[in-house]
Amino acid sequence: MGAGHGHGHGHAASRAADRRRLRWVLLVTGSVLVVELVGAWLTGSLALLADAGHMATDAGAVVLALGASYVAARPGGARSTFGYHRVEVVAALVNAVVLLGVCGYLAWTGIGRLSDPPEVDGVGLVGFAVVGLLANAVALTVLAGGDRDSLNLRGALNEVFADLLGSVLAVAAGVAILVADWQQADPVASLLIAVMILPRAVLLIRDSGRVLLEIAPADLDLDDVVHHLAHAPGVVDVHDLHAWTITSGMTSLSAHVTVRDDVLDQRGVGAVLDALDECVATHFGVQHTTFQVEPESHREHEDLGEMH
């Protein structure tokens, strides 16, 4: 059996940079959360309260993402042979579920207020919402420079982006109340925030679910992998192929490869493994590989069990 080289150092450096970004975002988010809570209390605005509530889940998501990043960086133990990389994916899933809960709350409360909207202070709403808008823009800029392949960072990025949209809508609601005294603008803004958040939460649940269920990465064509491996020197069959994602950007692949006996005798197992590793690394960018090389004469003795 043979295994390719991993990207441990690259992931460690990327995570360290992402943690720095997350700490800055947590500082900004926590500060704005306090400002918007005070603003919601003073103005009576549901949109501002919704934005503050989402800010609270945003802060929690960043704390969760930070913790997950630290845990994922820990070396694996005797039983955790893949390390703790999956913690990042679990954190992303939790963030998405919380985001769905926020959507439900905004929808329920917003619909309830449409028929009987309370009086909202438009000037205060615009002022506090602008503070949130500027802070979210700063946080989004900080996170946007991170690892875009990381589900963990994407979870936090989606949270901040949804906050930014919420602040924009809160500003718009405040302007509508000031200009036209349209009090329904406040619950309408809350409903729009929920509608904009929902698709991002669903996509994040889908992507993290694919990783946790060990479904093959969407950008990896397994038939194409088999085709390339089958054209390696001496290969007569490729079977029991598995591909999965350990964490974002870290794909693993394993396969049983049947090779002609004369090629194994002539080149040796090491040379065959090198050719297989180079094949998938070059064509598919997969570095973490495990191949079981089998002589053609051994094919009739193989038993892969019921799963196969």
- Distance of alpha carbon 286 from alpha carbon 252, whole angstroms: 7
- Which tokens belong to 15? 């995570």
Q: Is the pLDDT of residue 155 over 90?
A: no
CATH code of the domain occupying 8-212: 1.20.1510.10
Under DSSP, is residue 76 helix (H, G, I), strand (E, B) or coil?
coil
- Region of poorest pLDDT, from 95-104, 136-145, 275-284: 136-145
- Distance of alpha carbon 5 from alpha carbon 274, whole angstroms: 11
Q: What is the pLDDT of residues 46-97, one digit of tens each?
A: 778 777 776 776 776 677 667 666 766 677 667 766 767 777 788 778 878 8
Q: Is the pLDDT of residue 172 over 50?
A: yes
Tell me what percent of the residues of the chain surpass a pLDDT of 90: 23
All structural domains of the chain with their residue ranges: 8-212, 222-301
Say whether pTM exceeds 0.75: no
Fold topology of 222-301? Alpha-Beta Plaits (3.30.70)
Q: What is the pLDDT of residues 189-242, one digit of tens each?
A: 888 877 877 887 888 889 888 888 888 888 899 999 999 999 998 999 999 999
- Region of poorest pLDDT, from 58-72, 163-177, 270-284: 58-72
pLDDT at 294: 92
Q: Is the pLDDT of residue 175 over 50?
A: yes
Under DSSP, is residue 221 helix (H, G, I), strand (E, B) or coil?
coil
Cα radius of gyration (the chain): 26
